[in-house]
Amino acid sequence: MGTIAKERILEFRGDDLVDREGAKIGTIDEIYLDADTGEPEWALITTGLFGTKRTFVPLAEVTEEDGSLCVPHTKDTVKEAPQMEAAGQLTKDQEAALYAHYGIQMPSPPEG
């Protein structure tokens, strides 16, 4: 996660998610928290003409730019992300596939 507090990230539900160029990617439908740390890990966004496509976007390195949540990925990268069912919790395999797509190393589980 970036430098934005958890509480602030959760406030972005229903707002636009923008790419690193400031272009709207989609609308934040939900924020998924890491099961181990409780920190925001994924944004589930709706995209498409009628908001029918739902895509997970990692919140690693997220920033706030001009009142919008901004991810360091392009709109095309998000559009090409593997589609996962948005029911409950992502499996480790689903997370691994998403992290690989976005070129991010999967975080190690906390010790203890």
Burial 65-92 (b: 16+ CB within 10 A, else e): eeeebbbebebebbeebeebeeeeebee
pLDDT confidence bin for 111, thresholds 50/70/90? low
DSSP-derived secondary structure for 48-98: STTS-EEEEEE-TT-EEETTEEE-SS-HHHHHTSPP---SS---HHHHHHH
Q: Identify whether 73 is part of a domain.
A: yes
pTM equals 0.88
pLDDT confidence bin for 1, thresholds 50/70/90? very low
Whether the pLDDT of residue 89 is over 90: the answer is no
What CATH number does the domain containing 15 carry?
3.90.50.10
Q: Identify whether 107 is part of a domain.
A: no
**Locus of tokens 């706030």:** 64
pLDDT tens sequence across 9-57: 999 999 999 998 999 999 999 999 988 889 999 999 998 776 678 899 9
Q: Residue 69's domain spans which residues?
A: 6-102
Task: Please report the pLDDT score of residue 92 as a whole number.
Answer: 87
Q: Identify whether 66 is part of a domain.
A: yes
Task: Please report the pLDDT score of residue 44 as a whole number.
Answer: 95
Per the structure, the count of domains in the chain is 1
Q: Identify whether 17 is part of a domain.
A: yes
Q: Identify whether 108 is part of a domain.
A: no
